[in-house]
Chains A and B, each alone.
Chain A
Amino acid sequence: MSRAYGRLVQAQIRSQTQYRTSFGVDVASCALSTLVEAAVVLVVFRVSPTVGGFGLREVLVMSALAVFAFDLADLLVGNIERLSLYVRKGMLDAILVRPLRVLPQLLATDFALRRIGRVAQSSVLLAVVLVYAAPHWTPARVLMLVLTPIAGCALFAAVFVTGACVAFWFVESGEIANAFTYGGKEFARYPATIYPGLLRRVFGYGVGLALVGYHPALFLTGHADPLGGPDWLAWLSPAVAAFAWLIALLMWRTGIRHYRSTGS
């Protein structure tokens, strides 16, 4: 069965590479966007020596962690935003009459390989930033470095899926989802200290985005949380991601039952 999903991914890659020039341009432009994002952080620090009480070193680490986790999630499940198209045009019918699960089938069918360019860039960026920040490596910190992008990716992926589910109820729903996905990435790149109370509570600890970059970066660089959060908070990211997936799958299940199809 899992072989079938793999074949679908292969087929999608073959389809995309049929249009070779367009594929190349896509990969290149995706990669470029990561460089621009890194440049933005540097520009901010040219204006101000600290952001939210942190120096360039710490902010670069949280930013690189958040962007890498996001790009990974975007590669794996970002194409779920096409769900609204499937719902609007009734294309989900063809997916539903096959003996495969709907969510993995959609992800495999629409897998966008061009996004791999972005993941490559952001992983290089993360490596460079870590060399520059040069934390004192301990086993716990190495484990944190491995765990954080995985949990962060899972959390962003759950946000992508939950956001896409809105399409089952409201057809023109792309912007609502974007606020949480792309908006969430921007939020996670900067210290939680810069956000006003309510925004911080909702996005940082409600959605859990403070655990994607902020707290792990504090842990890696050996900083105490100026907001008074305990050290072990950074270790909660897998639990938060798991909970987010629970909500995402519940939404998905309800949404599929609510699917109305269209026309004949």
Chain B
Amino acid sequence: MTATGTMTAIKTETMIEVRDLRKEFTVRRKVGRIRRESRTVAAVDGVALSIARGETVGYIGPNGAGKSTTLKMMTGILTPTSGHVRVCGLEPVPRRRRLAGRIGVVFGQRSQLWWDLPLRESFRLLGFVYAVPRAEHEARLRQCRAMLELDEFMDTPVRQLSLGQRMRGEITAALLHGPDVLFLDEPTIGLDVVSKQSLRAFLAEIGTRGDVTTVLTTHDLADIEHLCRRLIVIDCGQVVHDGTLEALHARYGSRRRVVVDLDEARALDVRMPGVAIEAIEADGRRVTFALDGVPAGELIATIARDGGLRDVSVREPTIEEVVARLYRG
């Protein structure tokens, strides 16, 4: 609803179109010794979204919210119970093979690589599987090798790679056939800080080029902050927010904070509308204010006038707290 407004300058081509999407699972439960009770649960319950070419969208939600189920319906793995899905203009399940050539998929937990063969071999095989022209294949591989620094383990069997190395391999594997849409399901799960950062930098680079549409699910909200201008939050199988990160903050009244350190404890008598004391620590020498639409400068000026101000820091609202509030709500 909001993201499209900022993109009117570019010709928008819809890459993913989802309406009234629903997926039900039958869950069987034992009641008594033999009797079983089966019950229908909607994992995805009327999801609607539309994603344009070149967008990088964060698709987040608590465990069991229906993120992966939606992704699997978009990639042709699961057959929807009802509703409309088009990816690259194709209906995923009936056109599965055609669609597979136009999307790249990385599931953090599941490998596309050949476990017992060197990484180099996996890439070569994928070239045959996707029938990629040799020159294109080599050009893309060269680029990934340089940017993801694959050279030192190109000849190592995949089973001997570290998780970080393997993920770099997985991302490369997903890009070798030049997909229009990239689905990343928790690509940074389990990675150390350095690996996460380099992976993010690479994905950001792809994002800025603007020809690949990316849908990213993650529990690491820093991924979202670094990569996604648009955020779709799903809970209990339904979309509860679709828009920019800023819109999310505005909607849920996220507040900036000003933390002041004083030379010695004293009562701060700040009476400004939209300012509230949130915490007093260090025997009264550290005070945290929460600001509701008030510029920080005004508050800091007021405190500084009385003297004894040692240090000030302004903290932006974190995505964690707003999302936590969303999930709970």
The one of B78, B112, B114 in contact with A259, judged by C-beta atoms closer than 8 angstroms, is: B78
B157–chain A nearest beta-carbon distance, Å: 8
A226 surroundings in chain B (CB, below 8 A): none
- Assess A101 versus B78: contact at CB under 8 Å? Given A4-B131, A93-B110, A261-B72: no
Q: Which of A11-19, A24-32, A73-81, A176-184 contacts B (4 or more CB under 8 A)?
A: A11-19
A91 vs B93: C-alpha distance in the bound complex, in angstroms?
17
Instruction: Compute the total of residue contacts between A and B using a CB distance below 8 Å.
Output: 82
Nearest A residue to B93 via CB reads A257
Which B residues are CB-close (under 8 A) to A259?
77-78
Pair A264/B67 contact, Cβ less than 8 Å: yes
C-alpha spacing A143/B110, complex, angstroms: 48
Closest chain-B Cβ to A192's Cβ sits at a distance in Å of: 38
Q: Are A261 and B77 in touch, CB under 8 angstroms?
A: yes
Count residues on chain B whose CB falls below 8 Å from chain A CBs: 37
Query: How far, in Å, is A263 (CB) from chain B's closest CB?
Result: 7
Which residues of chain B from 55 to 80 have any CB-CB distance to chain A below 8 Å in the complex?
63, 67-68, 72, 75-79
What A residues does B75 contact at CB under 8 A? 96-97
Set of chain B residues within 8 Å of A11, measured between Cβ atoms: 114, 117, 121, 125
A98 within 8 A of B: yes
> Are A264 and B112 closer than 8 Å at their CB atoms?
no
Dominant SS among interface residues on chain A: loop
Bound together, the chains give a CA A259 to CA B67 distance in angstroms of: 17
Task: Decide: A90 and B110 in contact? CB cutoff 8 A.
Answer: yes
Contact assessment for B77 and A263 in the assembled complex, using a CB-CB cutoff below 8 Å: no
Task: Specify which of A15, A90, A99, A264 is in contact with B101 (CB 8 Å cutoff).
Answer: A99
Known: A7-B129, A99-B100. A94 touches B72 (CB 8 A): no
- A3 located at the interface, meaning its Cβ lies under 8 Å from any Cβ of chain B in the complex: yes
A264→B68 contact, CB < 8 A = yes
Question: What are 12 A-B residue pairs whose CB atoms fall within 8 Å in the complex?
Answer: A11-B117, A15-B115, A18-B116, A94-B107, A94-B110, A96-B76, A96-B96, A99-B129, A261-B72, A263-B68, A264-B107, A264-B185
User: B residues touching A (Cβ–Cβ < 8 Å)?
Assistant: 25, 63, 67-68, 72, 75-79, 93, 96-98, 100-101, 103, 105, 107, 109-112, 114-117, 121, 125, 128-131, 157, 185-186, 217
Beyond known contacts A11-B121, A100-B97: 7 more, CB 8 A cutoff:
A7-B125, A15-B115, A15-B116, A97-B75, A97-B100, A99-B131, A100-B100
